[in-house]
Structure 1
Amino acid sequence: MISSSMGIWNYWIVFLLMMIGLFLVIGRKNFLKKIVGLAIFQTSVFLLYITFGKITGATPPILNEALDKVYSNPLPHVLILTAIVVGVATTALGLSLVLRINSEYGSIEEDDISAQDLVDYHDEIETNKKLKSKFVK
């Protein structure tokens, strides 16, 4: 039983990384921690696809004399390389947005930003009521 469950150790690692990433995205209020959680979650998906693409005992798909061998499919690995580049770009964009949010609100905590937005919204409503009362008279 133990040897069979340890034989799929990479699936356990993928599951653990997915749960850590999901917890950071859902359970944390700090935007920087959320972006780190997304990056961890992306990494777990990359590992999962690479695990699916691995064929035990297969050789690289390089043509030579022996055409009767089992070859690995290179497509999952190529797609993951593309996904890694897209993931790095997405993370960089998210970090730049966090910097912009920090410069605008002075915080990257979700609760602080929501509270500031609520205060700004109520101030705007009061200002609109005052302006409307001036013009309605």
Structure 2
Amino acid sequence: MEGLVATGLGMVTACGVYLLLRGRTFPVVLGLSLLGYAVNVFIFAMGRLWMNAHPILGAHEGPITDPLPQALVLTAIVIGFATTGFIVELALRSAHENGSDHVDGREPGVPLSGSAAERREEG
């Protein structure tokens, strides 16, 4: 089972890095999200999955699970959602300002003098 989880994490991480290296903003946002999910699953897997274990110390007999990985992943999910929303807003604003959703702010093959900002100033 560990091999399957490790392979799945590797595949999700590789897809996330591939999408981060794309030229458009939407694949970059998806790549960041995939990397965030991969890190969350990695943290969760490092905490181990315990069956019939109590998360709180007390008068219970038997194994005790560590609640810290679950708390960290829950916090990371909330922060990742807020960060993704912020990145999407930045991408939309950049596309509106530059007239292109390319991460460099201009389409490949278009000279610098043909940027959307200069066209707006002229017209």
- TM-score interval (norm. to shorter): 0.7 to 0.9
Instruction: Tell me: CA distance 1:112–1:66, structure 2 relative to 1, closer, same or farther (3 Å).
Output: closer
Q: Distance in 1 between matches of 2:26 and 2:35?
A: 14
Of 39, 46, 54 in structure 2, the residue corresponding to residue 45 of structure 1 is 39
* Pairwise CA distance, 1:114: 6.8
**Is the CA contact 1:58–1:72 (under 8 Å) kept in the aligned structure 2?**
no
Alignment of 1:22-33 (within 5 A): 22-26=17-21, 28-33=22-27
- Equivalent residue for 1:79, pick from 72, 97, 112: 72
Q: Which runs of 4+ in 1 moved over 6 A?
A: 114-117
Report the CA distance shift for 1:54/1:119 in structure 2 as closer, same or farther (over 3 A).
Answer: same
Matched residues, number = 115
Larger radius of gyration: 1
Structure 2 gaps of 5+ residues are 119-123
- Corresponding residue to 2:101 among 75, 100, 108: 108
Asked if 1:60 is matched to 2:83, the reply is no
Post-superposition CA distance 1:80-103 (Å, at most 9, x none): 111111111110000001110111
Query: RMSD value over aligned CA atoms?
Result: 2.6
Structure 1 runs not aligned, ≥5 long: 1-5, 125-137
Cα displacement string for residues 93-123 of structure 1 (whole angstroms, at most 9, x for unaligned residues): 00001110111112101355276793379xx
Quick one: which of 97, 101, 107 aligns to 2:90? Answer: 97
Scaled by the length of structure 2, what TM-score is found?
Answer: 0.79
Give the helix-richer structure, 1 or 2.
Answer: 1
- What's the secondary structure of 1:70's corresponding residue? coil
